Amino acid sequence: MTTMTATQATLEIDQSRLWDALMVMAEIGKTERGGSGRLTLTELDKQARQLFIRWCEEIGCTVTVDRIGNLFARREGKRPDLEPIAFGSHLDTQPKGGRFDGVLGVLAGLEVLRTLHEHDIVTERPLLLVNWTNEEGSRFAPAMVASGVYAGEFTHDYILSRTDRDGVTFAEALRKIGFEGDAAIGEPSFARFFELHIEQGPVLEEEALDIGVVTGVQGMRWYDITFTGQAVHAGTTPLSYRNDALCAASRLIDSLTQHALTHDPDAKVTFGELTIPSSSRNVAPGEVRLTVDLRHTSTEKLDALEIAYFDKLAEAGETYGVMIDQTCIWDSPVVAFNDDNIASVEASAKAHGFGYKKMMSGAGHDAVYISKIKPTSMIFVPCLKGISHNEAEYSSPEQCAKGAQVLCDVVVEHANRV
Ligand SMILES: [Zn+2]
């Protein structure tokens, strides 16, 4: 599909075979508007897993399943004693999700294995294609939990006890679809990990680039706040006598957003959920609940943003005479990916003449947890208007293929390093 320098022979992936695999997989749980709805550990997820296993076994791979349903397809190397090079992503989707989020990383991995199989090439190290269970977290919170258990971030018991909206536990759902495997948590082991994923943001498309060489993941901090004032009559209570919880919340939303806009263009501040319990049009709200999501690519600047948040929050409470109760519910540190992996991804993109840039991921991925135990990095490809977690999610066959080609290069390069 591309020209390479004479010194580097290219093993070319097959764009149309990759696209066909994506479209066949998308039939499982196809939604009305052309997306995919394959919640984790459902009958549809089971079908997707069975198809994945069939495709891997057809080309001579051996698939093992661990105790929490993670799937590992192994292609033997010349040196079975060496740790494999791993790559993959997730086949589960949001309830009304797209055809590419996660699925591309798994099926591009399959395309790498098919390409090697077709050319009868055996790498030195074995290869390991992974489908991580429940990346999305939309049925069983939190997200990325199975790669988290694999990496030792959560316990086995913790994941088994998570429940969905209907009170079904992860353990029950896993057994129901028959994917509680024999492999111990943390098995099989591997030497390093690569994850190809759609960007889920607009930057690559805006800048007309092919590849994001992902150097790390933004840090994130989540807060839940309750503002408590006094619910009062809209007609009889003068403004100067009020302790309006919604006014305090509004003050925080606007003042912190303005602060970030003027002080730090890279800061991200989001107030995604606002609840006014027992709201009424003629009552000034006595209680308001608000969620805050702070993100930054630099730990130092994330700290500074958090201090600004504390200041603005206190000021909002004082201004309106409202009590504040806040809890930090998630603190995900800034992640730096492995330099050696990053250099390989960049070298491949450059060798093919693909437009690329180094960038941080704004979203969490399985690679975040895996990066804590193994050298890891990610490859991004553009997606239309940055739309994701949406049925309209789209990356073109060419865009997918370029990402798969880079994945193929880096996997083969590292699999031949002994
Ligand atoms: Zn994903």
CATH fold, domain 219-332, is: Alpha-Beta Plaits (3.30.70)
Task: Determine the distance separating the centroid of ligand 1 and the alpha carbon of 162, expressed in angstroms.
Answer: 20
Task: Determine the distance separating the centroid of ligand 1 and the alpha carbon of 5, expressed in angstroms.
Answer: 33
Asked whether 40 and 140 are in contact (CB, 8 A), the reply is yes
Task: Please tell me the number of Cα atoms within 13 Å of 238 on its side-chain side.
Answer: 2
CB atoms inside a 10 Å sphere around CB 338: 18
Q: What percent of the chain has pLDDT over 70?
A: 98
Asked whether 176 and 339 are in contact (CB, 8 A), the reply is no
Q: What percent of the chain has pLDDT over 90?
A: 94
Residues of the chain with CATH 3.40.630.10: 2-218+334-415
- Calculated CA dihedral for residues 315, 317, 320, 323, nearest 10 degrees: -160
Question: How far, in Å, are 41, 246, 269, 290 from residue 223 at the CA level?
Answer: 29, 17, 11, 8
3-class state of residue 172 by DSSP: helix
Task: Determine the distance separating the centroid of ligand 1 and the alpha carbon of 158, expressed in angstroms.
Answer: 22
Nearest to 287 by CA among 326, 248, 253: 248
Q: Which two tokens stand for residue 410?
A: 């880096």
Task: Determine the distance separating the centroid of ligand 1 and the alpha carbon of 181, expressed in angstroms.
Answer: 23
Task: Determine the distance separating the centroid of ligand 1 and the alpha carbon of 93, expressed in angstroms.
Answer: 8
Model's pTM, two decimal places? Answer: 0.86
Residues facing 66 on adjacent strands:
183
Which contacts of 60-63 are long-range, i.e. CB under 8 A and separated by 24 or more positions? 60/117, 61/113, 61/129
Q: What is the pLDDT of residue 174?
A: 98
pLDDT tens column, 50-66: 999 999 999 999 999 99
3-class state of residue 332 by DSSP: strand
At 8, is the pLDDT very low, low, confident or very high (cuts 50, 70, 90)? very low
The rounded distance, in Å, linking the Cα atoms of 28 and 46 is: 10
Residue 4 has pLDDT above 50, yes or no: no
Residue 262 has pLDDT above 90, yes or no: yes
Task: Determine the distance separating the centroid of ligand 1 and the alpha carbon of 255, expressed in angstroms.
Answer: 32
Task: Determine the distance separating the centroid of ligand 1 and the alpha carbon of 219, expressed in angstroms.
Answer: 17
Asked whether 68 and 156 are in contact (CB, 8 A), the reply is yes
Residue environment code for 300-317, b if the CB has 16+ CB neighbours within 10 A, otherwise e:
ebbeebbebbeebbeebb
Q: Which two tokens stand for residue 338?
A: 């492995």
Task: Determine the distance separating the centroid of ligand 1 and the alpha carbon of 196, expressed in angstroms.
Answer: 10
Q: Which CATH architecture has domain 2-218+334-415?
A: 3-Layer(aba) Sandwich (3.40)
3-class state of residue 185 by DSSP: coil
At 10, is the pLDDT very low, low, confident or very high (cuts 50, 70, 90)? confident
pLDDT tens column, 167-199: 999 999 999 999 999 999 999 999 999 999 999
Q: Which two tokens stand for residue 199?
A: 């960007």
Q: Of residues 265 and 12, which shows the higher confidence score?
A: 12
Task: Determine the distance separating the centroid of ligand 1 and the alpha carbon of 197, expressed in angstroms.
Answer: 7
Task: Determine the distance separating the centroid of ligand 1 and the alpha carbon of 184, expressed in angstroms.
Answer: 24
Task: Determine the distance separating the centroid of ligand 1 and the alpha carbon of 305, expressed in angstroms.
Answer: 27
Task: Determine the distance separating the centroid of ligand 1 and the alpha carbon of 81, expressed in angstroms.
Answer: 31
Q: What is the pLDDT of residue 343?
A: 98
At 330, is the pLDDT very low, low, confident or very high (cuts 50, 70, 90)? confident
Residues of the chain with CATH 3.30.70.360: 219-332
Residue 219 has pLDDT above 80, yes or no: yes
Task: Determine the distance separating the centroid of ligand 1 and the alpha carbon of 220, expressed in angstroms.
Answer: 17
At 7, is the pLDDT very low, low, confident or very high (cuts 50, 70, 90)? very low
At 9, is the pLDDT very low, low, confident or very high (cuts 50, 70, 90)? low
pLDDT tens column, 264-316: 989 999 999 999 998 999 999 999 999 999 999 999 999 999 999 999 999 99
Q: Which two tokens stand for residue 81?
A: 């004693």
Q: What is the pLDDT of residue 258?
A: 98
Task: Determine the distance separating the centroid of ligand 1 and the alpha carbon of 36, expressed in angstroms.
Answer: 13
Amino acid identity of residue 233, one-letter, is H
- CB-based contacts of 274, cutoff 8 Å, min separation 6: 249, 288, 289, 290, 291
The rounded distance, in Å, linking the Cα atoms of 28 and 47 is: 7
Q: Which two tokens stand for residue 200?
A: 């889920």
The rounded distance, in Å, linking the Cα atoms of 181 and 201 is: 35
Q: What is the pLDDT of residue 149?
A: 98
Task: Determine the distance separating the centroid of ligand 1 and the alpha carbon of 241, expressed in angstroms.
Answer: 49
Phi then psi dihedrals of residue 160, to 5 deg: -65, -30
375 cis-preceded (ω within 30 degrees of 0) = no
Q: Which two tokens stand for residue 350?
A: 């450059």
- Mean pLDDT in the chain? 96
Residue 395 has pLDDT above 70, yes or no: yes
3-class state of residue 219 by DSSP: strand
